[in-house]
Chains A and B, each alone.
Chain A
């Protein structure tokens, strides 16, 4: 992936040229680790605790890539019974099922529902309330 360089503040050097000037590399960008294909990536947000036992919590941002195939064990965004839902995709004896802590959607229903994309990662704010202030209230929060 090509790293995009954010423009550094223009340094007007009054004294000595920085010895690091010849060794500048782009600073790490978390986007590289979260979004592999930006033109196929979309975002959703988890609402509720239906996936708690899988470690996905209320408010988590779900990074979703449409280019991936939903295979056994993948978390997917699906559209079922008139709304979007996040489920884990499991291949069972009778075919594919979509599960969360609450219920299971079986293959017969899978025909009608559409798998919209595969969730590649979740983003979550870990700050306690006292620190969720000012610009830090934006950390993984909509």
Chain B
């Protein structure tokens, strides 16, 4: 007893002391420290006398940001320079939370991936300042973009009517997830010239891969379809594409054509998907290691030429060798239950890429700075680096470019990552076809064509818009999801492998509803209706 009471006293004293300390730390407001500077509304430089701000951003550890040519050039051009507070990308979130907790805010967040709930929470408390006024005054390029695409404005406007962050806009990136690819050599060996269009035809192809030795090594070592499981989800890389055959756009939440929101794991189509997968599993067509292998092990199988159908960014990344147009993209198949396959498309917008905090003494200049990234020239600079390094104009008028040899040889993407911060992080910018005009090689063009004919022309659309939940909705979803998603994941694996017979479906749905599946659906429906109406 004594020990405890003393410990409590100490605890209280320590606690008080620290919280007092914490209290007198941060809160020096920006307003009193900033001298007035005139921010020009157009053209460069943005300010006459150079100013310096702090920027917090994730970093992939290749080049120090101070040494990046693109950022140096931008600073010279605009007279706005930054002190960079980088944190490694993998642990950026930890550091971001500490920054908010310690009130040690940077002036701007760059590529910070602020979640909708963070934007809302910190926006409502005034840590992130509302941007809509600044956009109207100081962001001509971004404003033009919003006027052209009203959905973007809808998606970045929080339920309280303010805009707290600028997005990544990528209308030229259509894939919802990595596509699947057929092994071209297998198709040829089996004499298949028309890709499967239905789940039955797909089944037949997979069966033939297993039985007819298409890699011709005399061993039955072919694996018709292989997948990997991450801690986040099972077989997600192939699931996205197979769910579509049963009319389902996405694995968790999607909206159908009549504005009704669906929670996938309780859908009838999801059950049909499970039955199909169970059939593949039972007949040995789905790699039995799909639930336990690492991505590297799967790649090794690809390099051994064992895989018939697999998912990756490009086929050659799994199969090894050079980029090749011999491995066709998977054409979404349909089952007997639907007329056409549901195909998910990237919604092309990621919110939370750029935000300005209340301690920023020059919000106008910051907005002008980032607005340049939404212009053609700015997006080009930040994406491809300055002219004369990796590219030069062939015809500046129609924006055609040609690639230059990589200085010092080596991989051009790798070199690019030393020039610009926009490598592997969700940076605020817009992607336009003009940026890459003339820089695309035959392989890029082929991939583009595959994407168009197989996905876009077949009715691909975004499964669910980027939208905001209120703080309360978000926290309810979070607490429901921690059990729900685990249970769904576990049962999916059991249904597919037959550890749980599909006759257990009824009990499974009942359990899901007890865990709050209905609430998840209702909350998302409400949020969607708000988004639609705004």
Q: Do A and B bind each other?
A: no
Which residues in A have some Cβ–Cβ distance to B below 8 Å? none
- Residues in chain B within 8 A of chain A (CB atoms): none
